[in-house]
Structures are given as structure tokens and as C-alpha cells.
Amino acid sequence: MIEQRQIGEYRLRAAFDEGGRGLPLVLCNGWGSNLEVFDPLVEALADRPVLRFDVPGIGGSERPALPLRLPALASLVEALLRSYGIERADVFGYSWGGTLAQELARRNPDRVRRLVLAATSTGHLMVPAPPRILPAFADSRWLTNWRRPRRFFEREFACRVGPRLFGGERLRRNPMAILPVLRKLERPSTRAMAWQVAGAFGWTSLHWLHRLNQPTLILAGDDDRVINPINPMLLAWRIPDARLRWVRGGHLFPVLDAVERTAEHMRTFLDEKDKVVPFGGRKWRATG
């Protein structure tokens, strides 16, 4: 059920599907995306409890007067979890939400059991998108629409640039395949989009990823035009207990191209049993 919750000084829009088994799964969405965009993934993961939310300024959540940095956003999510009585959870972060998920895991080594990162990077210090994304910006309306960014979400424009911007065989075959995502999307305001970018500006996880103790699954699209393939490999290299899985699809694979495949990978990973292995007086968690 979707509801408004007062978390600190902000009203956040959230939905907690309590059905299913196991620990709750917290979903952190991409830039400018409201919680309904995750509908297909939530349906594919109907066998477990799922919490999703709109970050401040996006969807139905209250917009802050000034940008909130990622640590402050992570604190809000922590308070949201407490408001639902969730003491421990698995966390999934998609695209921009992947940076928020990493910050949550860093701040909450005992509260976050397992981490899933999809189509994301290490933040500001990331490898730029590959050159194959450049043709997507050949459309002159990138310049004519810049004063009204909501036009970027209009049907005609999204269908024209979507295949070249996001990649994925499904969009290349049928550019109108992006429409289900657009119908779920509540177009954010210019300020909300800018605030979300500003909140993550300068943030990077590159220097502390090696301290994450959560088992981590990294999912990457094999035709992602937004995230350079070096970025998921870098995440897998820096996080001690991480594994990388490639999924057929573009940047939208968790919500469009390969929802079922994404859910399958996640279900297999999240259902693994944790083992505590003593080593030199410390307890290291391994997966089997």
C-alpha cells in the first residue's frame, strides 16, 4: 500500500509490500524515478517483502529547500526503515539508487545483510559512458528542451532517443517498448532533478568499497550505453565479497529488458545461506 510517512522534517511517499518470506528487500530507484517504475520488478519478486520509496523531491515525496547529500538521504532511509519496524534488510540499488545503496551499506554494516547493485557505478569517480552513447545526443531537441526538461520524458522524444541513449536489443527493435516505463514515470520538476544530481556531486565510494562486509551481487547490462562496463568490473574488484553477473539488455534492464532474469539472479543470491567463518579472531561472512 502506498502511503505518506513523516520522516524527520520530510514527508516521504513509500510502499511496503509485506507478503512473502525472508528479510525485507529495500529498493533504491534511479535518477528522477518514482517508486511505480519498480512495479514490474516487485511483481517478479512477489515471494518476498519489498519496501520502495520516493526520495525527497521525486514522485510524491516532499521537495527539500536545498539539495540533500547522499549521507543525509541515507539517514532518511534509515529512519524510514525504523518507522516500519525493519531492523535488518537486503538492499537493491539501481543506477543513481546504486550510490545510495552503497552509502546505506557503508553506514549500516549490521542492518544491511546483502547488497545488490544494478547498472551503477562508484559515483563521481566513475569511468565515463562509452562513446557509443554520443549519437543519442545528435537530436537538436536536447538544446531546445533544456529550459523545460519535462519534455525529455515526452513520448515522441523518448522513443527517438531511447534506443541510442539506453541501449538494449528490445528498444532497438521497437523504440515504443519504452512506453510502459514512461507511463509509470511521474515527470520530476527541473529543480528536483537538479537537486538529486547536486546531492550526489563529488560523492564517491571508490576509497572505501574495500571495507564493505556485505555479500554483494553486481548486475550489469551487456548493452548499457549509460554505464561504462568498466564500472561494474571496478565494483566487483573493490568489494571483497562481490560477484558480477552480466544480463542481456541496456541501462533499463531491471525495469524493462530483463525483469525476470534480474529477479532470478536476485532470488538465487538473496536465498543463499550465510556462513560465519572464524579467521584470526575476526568473523568473516562467506557465501556458499
Report the catalytic residues: 95
Is the CB of residue 224 less than 8 Å from the CB of residue 262?
A: no
The answer to whether 112 and 213 are in contact (CB under 8 A) is: no
Residue 159 exposed, middle or buried by CB count within 10 Å (0-12, 13-18, 19+):
middle
Helix (H) or strand (E) holding 244: strand 242-247
Length of the chain: 288
**Sheet holding 112-118: strands in order across?**
2-7, 10-17, 50-53, 25-28, 89-94, 112-118, 216-221, 242-247
- Which CB contacts under 8 angstroms, 24+ apart, belong to 133-139? 133/164, 133/165, 133/225, 133/226, 135/164, 136/161, 136/164, 136/165, 136/225, 137/161
What residues pair up with 285 in beta bridges, in sequence order? 276
Please compute Rg for the chain using Cα positions. Answer: 18
Query: Which residue type, as a one-letter code, is found at position 223?
Result: D
